Structure 1
Amino acid sequence: MWRPTDPPWRLQNTPGEGALWLSWLVRLRWVALFAQAVTLAFVFKMLHGVGVIAAWFTIMAALGVANAWAVRQLEHGTPNAILAHLLLDVIALTVFFTIGGGPDNPFTPLYLIHIAMAAVMLPPGHSGLLAASVLACYSMLFAFHLPLHYERHSLPEGVLLRFGQWIAFMITSVSIAAFVVGIAATLRRRKEQLLEARDRTARTDRLRSVGTLAAGAAHELNTPLSTISLRIRRVGRRHDDADTSRDVEVMRAQLERCTSIVRRLLVGAGDPDAADIERRPLATLVEEAVRMWSRGATLDVKIDDTSHGVVVELPRIAFQQALINLLENAREAQEAASAFEPLELRILHELDLAVVEVADRGCGLPPEADQVGEPFFTTKPTGTGLGVFVARQVADGAGGGLQLLPRARGTVARWWFPEVPRRSA
């Protein structure tokens, strides 16, 4: 849970967040190594002998190795790892300043870059430890350092100091500005992600409310439907003349239809007792759904030769209702485009997947194609925004998926499920 004392970037704990911070450190360190090389070339004559120069080269080599190692470890960017890299940079800077003039070195403001980075990247405890380490290292420079020999340089001491201060100010300003701009952009993206997540949660909550209402209504309807069923059977036994028998059959058929609707409501609401998961050939389930879908539209059904025996394990009612929804969407898309070609329904077998494709010759995918499939999002004036969503839920629940693909004219709804082995006799 977010607390007022937490840094703002901790509003959302993204798995790649540590890698992002570590990549910033890697880039900054390469820039620092280049700057150190330029500085060494500039102050070479002012250092204390070969040993000091060798120490300078050793620290630069160690930082280069650490950077190469960090590039390979970006996915392990934990707060402790980031703190370790920042402390290594602070120690390296301290060594450079110790052999290069101590607190009089004009580049000591570079410490501030690491404090700023720690404040943004790390939790309060880690950033406080880094700040205390920087203060201790800077304080140590007053007691332990080697002075620079300005007299060995061709330029006057005052000119060298002013030039060094200007360079240090420029590096510090540009580095902090670039870092803050990058972090601000990251935070803006995080805010957008958070708003999108809130919208998805709100839509899911609305869907859950509708499901709860539907489940309640379905359970309430079960009792009167059971009573009507008993009465119909009683009437059928008492009156066996032809007219009454025909009326009883009509009532039974309509009652069965009502019962089926109630079961679909329960399945859609997530009732586990109503989710009649069956292991059956996919072609059989599809053919039953096609027979149930009677809208007068011409349907071209093609079953791949290798898919006849493909078995899937699915909630039968939910699958067939979702397929009917996809067929209905395709029919409406073609009507809107004044296309009169037959709808295309394909059953395919690809590796270990059973695939159902519903293709139309409509107007194609809308500009908001990325939102199609989210609950209550619809591009139709009278749509509910649940047809594609339910189909995707059925596929996800079985370990499959649903994808809407564009074609030369129209859209293909590609629906796939994992194949399961047949039960042995």
Structure 2
Amino acid sequence: MQSDNRSQHPPLPEGLHRSNYIRLRTIIWLRWAAVFGQLTALFVAERYYNLRLEVGLFYLVIGASVLANLIAMFVFPENRRLSERENFFMVLFDLLQLGALLFLAGGLNNPFSILIVGPVAVSAAVLSTRSTILLGLITVLIASGLTQAYYPLRTELGYILRIPEIFVFGTWAAVTIAVIFLGVYVRRIALDANAMSEAFQAAQLALSREQKLTDLGGVVAAAAHELGTPLATIKLVSSELIDEFPEGSEAREDIALIASQADRCRDILRSMGRAGKDDLYLRQAPVTTVVQDAVSPHLDRGKTLHFLQESNDGTEQPEIYRKPEIIHGLRNLVQNAVDFSRANVWVETHWNAETVTIRIQDDGGGFPPSMIGRIGDPFMRRRSNAKLRAKNTAYEGMGLGLFIAKTLLERTGAELAFANGPARTRLPGDGPQRSGALVIVRWPIADIAVDKSEGRTPLGQNILITS
């Protein structure tokens, strides 16, 4: 089985991200809007349609919402982020308040009874599954109670406004179905949106980290360039001075130490600046060089990497920019191949006048067939119990690394395709066989190649300087 294992941090508990997004100010303003709507409906029903209502009880129930809002405004800061528990009780209060209003206004005979499913939809979007199920059950219980117990709606002449029992049952069934359907529907949409949001954040962090490493390498390369001359001078002077002192003398040993330390500084700067790409002529390179940069961290991980570079139509190898998106994306794909290969990984680079194509394949078990259509999308496989979660706290099976690679590469104009190689048909002793996962990354040449009109030209052959 081949999946991805990039992150080293355990997933946060469900609902932690969503519920902590809600500000108290948002709840307060929504509740003020609900109070305004309830007062408007009460005014129209009483003055325009002349319904006989328990106005005092209505004002008492609506006043409870007003009082709750005032307490929240004056006791707590409006920019406070509500916790899961606080959000649950906020939604529960609004649900009970709406149920009380329906109790005073005809129960399920009231056309506004469908509004009782609103709090469940809100809960499904921002709260945990447990809270949503609990609120859904409370909603169904309230709707069931409103079919039997309620203050009837009366006209000015005392006539009771009541719909047939079959319609009351139909309204109850509609509320129940709406609670279940909307709860599940909104829940699934919220989970997908939340997973995608977190995955995009992870991709942005990965890109930011790669950019910082690239910038740091540029700084080191610049330092190595600037320090090269004084280090060379120290080396030259020490080499000349060392001949002035006899073997075994203390001064000769000191000069030899200075020369060796200068060499050491040169080697350190050279190794640190190897990744430096800030030089104008190093920001762009042949495509195979960029691929080698991306693959280099995985060369010594115990697997054999096979490289192939060829032109499909005889055109010259294109030069591309060393974009962090390309390097990090290809690095993730190669890491995935190395992690799940048996012993071999193939990295092929092909180009022609129209496209640049990179094929990454291994000799492992390949992608699970049931997941081929979902590769590149973030998904989460939940573990069955706490013991299994404790054994592996990584994002196993989330596809997060592949999502990051796909997202970053697509930003540069690439198209990605995922597939599996043919089944193993030869014996293990017959040599490596490409039976594992296959990832094809293809760019239009116009999207990735360096524009020669920008002024970059070959440096040409070095000319010997003569005096």
Same fold (TM over 0.5): no
Higher relative contact order (CA 8 A, sep 6+): 2
Which structure has more helix as a fraction of its residues? 1
Q: TM-score, structure 1 length as denominator?
A: 0.41
Q: TM-score, structure 2 length as denominator?
A: 0.38
